[in-house]
Amino acid sequence: MSNMCGKLIKSQGFTLIESLVGLVILSLIYAGVWGWLGTAAQSTRSIEDAIALPSLFEEYLDHMSLERLREKQAGVVAIDGFLFDWEASINRQSDQEIYRRQPATVVTLFDINVRILNGDQFVTNISTQLVRQWPDPRQPKKFF
């Protein structure tokens, strides 16, 4: 640019194209950082769940030791914000076997499937087995 006297004037500032290119670059950087922070937050939550699960599972097993699986074969247990949604099914039962080592007692092996949630977010599924026993109601009672 030149003024009326013919001197060149140095232009200051950015052109519109330079500004748009700068905005595009900044938006790409922010998008990358935002995605990285989201992944880091999700990983942190997964790590916290993985650290908490062993002790919570021990508490869950303590609770399950009190459940009467003969009468109740499903339920939900809440421990420290985690929900243990469990179902039990009979795998084997001693009164259905050919040979019974303890005829006065029914021994049952249950398959337990547990779905673990942290709030509304799914954490993991766990399968385990538990053994329960109770007196066989079909056996006569001994009085001596």
Q: What is the pLDDT of residues 115-129, one digit of tens each?
A: 999 888 898 899 999
Cα separation, 56 vs 11, in Å, equals: 68
Within-domain flag for 8:
no
Q: Which two tokens stand for residue 85?
A: 């949604």
Phi and psi at 56, nearest 5°, equal: -65, -35
Within-domain flag for 128:
yes
Q: What is the DSSP string of the chain?
A: -B-TTS-B----S--HHHHHHHHHHHHHHHHHHHHHHHHHHHHHHHHHHHHHHHHHHHHHHHHHTTS-TTT--EEEEEETTEEEEEEEEEEEEGGGSSS-S-TTEEEEEEEEEEEEEETTEEEEEEEEEEEEEEE-TTSPPP--
Within-domain flag for 10:
no
Within-domain flag for 95:
yes
Within-domain flag for 143:
no
Cα separation, 14 vs 8, in Å, equals: 18
Domain that holds residue 120: 16-135
Within-domain flag for 118:
yes
**110 pLDDT higher than 90:** yes
Within-domain flag for 52:
yes
Q: Which two tokens stand for residue 111?
A: 């398959």
More confident residue, 115 or 39: 115
Q: How many domains does the chain have?
A: 1
Q: Average pLDDT over the chain, rounded to whole? A: 85
Within-domain flag for 112:
yes
pTM for this model (two decimals): 0.66
Cα separation, 74 vs 118, in Å, equals: 19
